[in-house]
Every structure is written in structure tokens, then in C-alpha cells.
Structure 1
Amino acid sequence: MDKIDLKKELPAFRATRGRFDVVDVPEAQYLMVDGHGDPNTSPDFAAAVGALYPVAYTLKFASRRDLGRDYVVPPMEGLWWAQDMDAFTSARDKSRWDWTLMIMAPDWLDRGAFAAATEAVRAKSGPARLDEVRLESLREGRCVQTLHVGSFDGEAEVLARLHHEFVPANGLRMTGTHHEIYLSDPRRTAPERLRTILRQPVRPAGDPGDAV
């Protein structure tokens, strides 16, 4: 049985260090959990991770067993926002951050498969935030993204250039939510070697719609 690796097959998982690329990101479905506060100290953040991964792996094993379709569980991702977006750049006040942690689920898995996986996890381990995990589609469309190599706190300079230089210089404006894709496991990777895709949905500056 071939094992599909979405991280290698989907162009949206590719980015280049030191360069901002404008990409069109197709709609995809994710396992999601919402939260608020500093990811380094919030118990809700750790509990969200502890609920997402068991569901993601239970879905993977069910897909291989029941559908004959195996795949590599995609990397963790996160949507991040705050009332004042300077909280991500100059201030970096993590206590003010809101977030949604996510793991992509292949499009051949439906809500029935998700419900069955959730109940299987509940019967086995019942993590604290299991009932808050949902399966939801995300459509981002046109985005700007780049690869950041280094610590999470080192993102601030890159984000400042993206927000205040590249976006306006290219006739764009930010819309939607700041998005990060964690290509490295921070538990096994030194901070200076972490690889993270930084993504920002955008629209042409004159396009109607809600802006960030």
C-alpha cells in the first residue's frame, strides 16, 4: 500500500527562506481546536495538542484499515490573531494571542469517519479537550508565505517586513488570519533550526471585504 505524504504533494507546503511568494492555497479540511493565551504557559494549549494528535492518528489508522488508503499525518499548523496585530511583531505579547491549532485531514475522510475516530479516542484515553475538536474546512485563497528558520520569537522581524513592506509594496492588504505550519518538531529540534512556514492571506488593496 502506497503511503501519501500531503506535505510533499501539496505546493502549499513549500516555501523559500528569505523570499515572500504569492501563492493560491486550495480549500482543505482540518481537525481544529481553539484557545487563547501564551502557548508556552497556557494549559489549554497543551490540552489542545493532547486532543488533536490522538484523533489525527486514529483517523489515519482507520483510513488504512477500512479504506485501504494510508497517509503520513500532516504537520501541526496554527492560526494566530490578536485585537492588535502588533502583538505578533513589535510587542510579541503572547498573553494577548488567540489561536486555532490544526492538523489537515485528507479530503476522502468525511464527518462519519471523524465521529468514529473521536469516539474511539474517547473510549481509549478521553483527553481533556476532545469534545472541542472539530472537523472544518478552511479556504484561504491568495496568500503570501515564506519559510522562517529559527526560533519562534525570531519570527517578529520577518512578519514586520511581510506586513509593512511586502504587502503594501505589492498592492495588497492583509485579510484572514496569520497562519503558521510547523515543519519541525520543537521537542526534537534546536530552536535555531526550527523550520516554520509563515502565511498571510491577502487581497488586492482595492478589493472589498474585511481587512485585518
Structure 2
Amino acid sequence: MKKLHKDLYAAKSNPAFLDLAPLPYLMIDGRGEPAGDAYTDAVAALYGVAYAVRALLKPTTAYSVAPLEGLWYTLPGEPRSSWTWTMMLLQPAEATSAVVAEALAVTRKKKPDLPVDSVRLDLLDEGRSVQILHVGPYATEPETVGRLMAFAHTHGVAPAGAHHEIYLSDPRRVAPEAMKTIIRYPVAPPPA
């Protein structure tokens, strides 16, 4: 997936524009902090379905599961326990609703304790967006977001959708100061 959609994963440390076509994702919605059980179970369910889709498509379509992505709908200062999110994994065009339905059935049997039935296939249509590569721990993202927002303002656009993160590093395996996260916002001209 990273080779097929190089532009999606090629953010730099300087803000830039990106024009995105609608893309198919496996998605799951939730509420709570990223270290909590609801989040952990949701991500496990999402990956379970994604790997089942890949296994079903393997005879004709070979690919690696894409990096985890998240849409965050939190307000500044909101307690972590109230954070709402949609976690996502990009899918190939061959991952039709029928394939995903079969993958859901397979995963439901293998992982009955996970919220597998909350996983869905949906299109994400962000269109014109701004993005930047953040290097470092998640706690230092506000400075990077500030630079991205300044860039957007300078170019006469404003955020028109959720805070979107693409996790290029596994926090279990990479030191916090070396983690790489793409931060993206769909944009539009500000309201008059």
C-alpha cells in the first residue's frame, strides 16, 4: 500500500498541500484515551479484519497492511477519557464490501471478545489537504500543528475536517524522540 500510494506517506518536515481522491478504509469509531482498553480492543479488531482481508485477497493481490491512521475529534484541553476517534487502515480497491463481510465473519470467529462488528469499510474523501511530518513524541505535536496551521492561514485556507494522523512508527519499537507521524487536515477557504 505504501508503494502504491507513495504520495500519502511522503510528508516532509515543512508543511505542504496534497490533493486526495476518495480512498477506501477499514474504520472503527471509539471514545477514550489511546492507552485505554476500548482503544486497544478497537485497534486489535481493526487489524484482525485487515489481515483477514489480505488473506482473502492473497491469491490475486499481494500487499502489506498499511500503517495505522486516526481521525481525532477532540478539543484542546479535553480530558483523554473523553477523546473520540476513528481508527483506520487503507485498503486496496479489491477490498469490496463482499470481501470485507467475509473477513468480518472470519475475524468474529477467531476473536469473539473484540468489537469486530464495529469495523466497517468506508470512503474517506478529504480532497485538498495540508500535511506535515512530525518527528518526536505525541506530546510535542502541538508545535508542529501550529506550524501547519500558520502555513494554512498564510495560504488562505482553514481546517475543514478532523485532525488526521498517520503513524509511520510503532511506539512499542521506536524511541519517542524518533517517532514519525504525518499530521494532515482537509482544508477549504475560511467562511466569509
TM-score by length of 1: 0.85
- Separation in structure 1 between the aligned mates of residue 112 and residue 67 of structure 2, nearest angstrom: 22
1:50 aligned to which of 41, 44, 54: 44
Are residue 59 (structure 1) and residue 53 (structure 2) matched?
Answer: yes
1:16 aligned to which of 12, 19, 22: 12
Q: Conserved in 2, the CA contact under 8 Å of 1:92 and 1:156?
A: no
- Is the partner of 2:152 in helix, strand or coil? helix
- Separation in structure 2 between the aligned mates of residue 125 and residue 171 of structure 1, nearest angstrom: 47
Q: Conserved in 2, the CA contact under 8 Å of 1:76 and 1:181?
A: yes
Equivalent residues in 2 for 1:1-212 (5 A)? Answer: 6-10=1-5, 11-17=7-13, 19-40=14-35, 42-65=36-59, 68-82=60-74, 84=75, 87=76, 91=77, 93-163=79-149, 165-205=150-190
- Separation in structure 2 between the aligned mates of residue 108 and residue 172 of structure 1, nearest angstrom: 34
TM-score by length of 2: 0.94
- Separation in structure 1 between the aligned mates of residue 99 and residue 78 of structure 2, nearest angstrom: 39
Instruction: Give the deviation of 1:61 after TM superposition.
Output: 1.1
- Is the partner of 1:7 in helix, strand or coil? coil
* Percentage of identical aligned residues: 40
Q: Per-residue displacement from partner, 1:18-52 (whole Å, max 9, x unpaired)?
A: x0001101111111111112112x21101101101
Runs ≥4 residues deviating over 3 A: none
Instruction: Give the deviation of 1:96 after TM superposition.
Output: 3.5
**Where does structure 1 lack aligned partners over 5 or more consecutive residues?**
1-5, 208-212
**Where does structure 2 lack aligned partners over 5 or more consecutive residues?**
none
Q: CA RMSD in A?
A: 1.5
Instruction: Give the deviation of 1:146 after TM superposition.
Output: 0.7
- Separation in structure 2 between the aligned mates of residue 117 and residue 176 of structure 1, nearest angstrom: 29
- Separation in structure 1 between the aligned mates of residue 54 and residue 174 of structure 2, nearest angstrom: 25
Q: Conserved in 1, the CA contact under 8 Å of 2:26 and 2:89?
A: yes
* Amino acid in the other structure paired with 1:30: Y
- Separation in structure 2 between the aligned mates of residue 146 and residue 8 of structure 1, nearest angstrom: 19
* Amino acid in the other structure paired with 2:53: L
- Separation in structure 2 between the aligned mates of residue 145 and residue 126 of structure 1, nearest angstrom: 37
